A and B are shown apart, each in its own frame.
Chain A
């Protein structure tokens, strides 16, 4: 389980520390407040715990700075400067370990960056993690993986990572009851189940098999979630990162998606998501039960410093600033201005 993340002069952040909920973490904020960067950094740390690759290299592949010069990830300033990123996790025995990446804007290659903390203990305790990017990759799966392995193509590694997860073989043994229920509610929403044939995904329903390229993007995303649950990627102790789940998803399907995310959290999956969508926030607010662990993180740039800050709360109504609800607030203001003609003002 991830406990916190700390940035110093890294990408968009001057100095930022965020403590995570062991359950669901929801990031809101206007564009350019670093929501996706937080997910990518935390995901990179989770991924190497299992893949046992280098932290610096993973960060470089996931962020994909120009020319793959890792030093470009240090927050820009006129002078020479140093930056760092530190992720802390809590192991099953309660012990806390950290992984820290330090680099300067002159660092050109990942191997020149410094990784400190407990990198050994980090990889000795593997964890499952999946990152669902905004853009769907499922329809592009055929040949994409081999193309990525063989050629230098300009794609952030998250895109090939999620396909690797999607192609993992099924879990052996019978599907447990909780997982079965989740799969069934997804099947109901998609009106079918997902099958893979020769690197190609299909939705099998009573009407036959439909290739993913012909499916609505929203269904492709639900299909991906179905696969990750079915193949055991999302089990107790796993971490799911989902960037803007609302993209291409019909608002009516949000209820199912949020219900499933909450259920995964109850099964011990830690969840990180970013959103610009009111319905998602409200669904979490409505569907949350007393024992659920939800933390809303609002990222914002105060007018005086302009540097990104975070404010976290368990209660949706206390979320402030709330970039999503503030938009509705400006509508309220304009309606009052239009219909009350300055009364009380």
Chain B
């Protein structure tokens, strides 16, 4: 099942369904249309759902920490990590709420963020997200997880680990 979004092209070969979750086209049955944050793609499998969020850092200069002229500017760009973590976190939570209202949270959900960072930075991002989403039965009062697992990978790692869902990085959305 092929899905193209934000400059990435996926093929979820074993999915029951896979679609653009934040669909903006009103004519489509998957139209989102609510003032909630939304992950890019939701894919459904026999025993799980997978939420996918992509962020291409080659594209917006905002995150380019190499391109700075003052220490203040550099600091602002480093704050980008914290900003991104919150961005990824709230996107997931709002999407979970939306799916809850759809009554589509009956299977475990895995959240995969596809970023253009190196593995070390992705590992740091995964650690922060795992704690803050939070992953698993985080509270003693919970009987249900809001997310089963969270992964943060680059394109190379995605393809190594998910050979049934090959992805290619096409031109980024909005890129000249």
Contacts and interface: CB of A to CB of B under 8 A. Distances in A.
Given A340-B149, A343-B110, A332 B123 contact: yes
A344 B52 CA distance: 13
Interface string B31-69: 000000000000001001010000000000000011110
Contacts of A324: 120
A344 B162 contact: yes
A316 B135 CA distance: 31
Contacts of B135: 339
B123 A328 contact: yes
Interface string A276-292: 00100010011011100
Contacts of A285: 65-66
Nearest to A292: B66
B119 A286 contact: no
B86 interface: no
Interface in B123-176: 123, 126, 135, 148-149, 151-153, 157, 160-165
B106 interface: no
B79 interface: no
Nearest to A315: B66
B118 A332 contact: no
Contacts of A290: 66-67
Contact of B157 (A332, A339, A344): A332
A337 B162 CA distance: 10
B9 interface: no
Contact of A340 (B68, B122, B151, B160): B151
A80 interface: no
Contacts of A343: 45, 48, 50, 110, 162
Contact of B151 (A278, A326, A328, A336): A336
A328 B148 contact: no
Interface in A197-218: none
Interface in A304-336: 316-317, 322, 324-326, 328-329, 331-333, 335-336
B50 A332 contact: no
Given A340-B110, A340-B151, A344-B165, A332 B119 contact: yes
B102 to A, nearest CB: 21
Given A336-B151, A339-B148, A340-B110, A345 B162 contact: yes
A278 B126 contact: no
Contact of A344 (B66, B122, B161): B161
A48 B25 CA distance: 72
B66 A326 contact: no
Contacts of B65: 285-286
**Which residue, A316, A331, A335, A345, has most C-beta atoms of chain B within 10 A?**
A335
A345 B164 contact: yes
Nearest to B67: A290
Nearest to B157: A332
Given A326-B119, A335-B126, A345 B163 contact: yes
A141 B134 CA distance: 54
Interface of B: 14, 45, 48, 50, 65-68, 74, 78, 110, 116, 118-123, 126, 135, 148-149, 151-153, 157, 160-165
21 contacts: A282-B120, A285-B66, A286-B65, A290-B66, A317-B116, A317-B118, A326-B119, A328-B118, A329-B119, A329-B157, A332-B119, A332-B152, A335-B126, A339-B110, A339-B149, A339-B151, A340-B110, A344-B161, A344-B162, A345-B162, A345-B164
Given A328-B120, A339-B135, 18 more contacts: A285-B65, A286-B66, A286-B74, A286-B78, A322-B118, A325-B119, A325-B120, A329-B157, A332-B123, A332-B152, A335-B126, A336-B161, A339-B151, A340-B110, A343-B48, A344-B161, A344-B165, A345-B163
Q: Which 9 A-B pairs have the closest CB atoms?
A: A344-B162, A339-B149, A328-B119, A329-B119, A328-B120, A336-B161, A325-B118, A344-B165, A325-B119
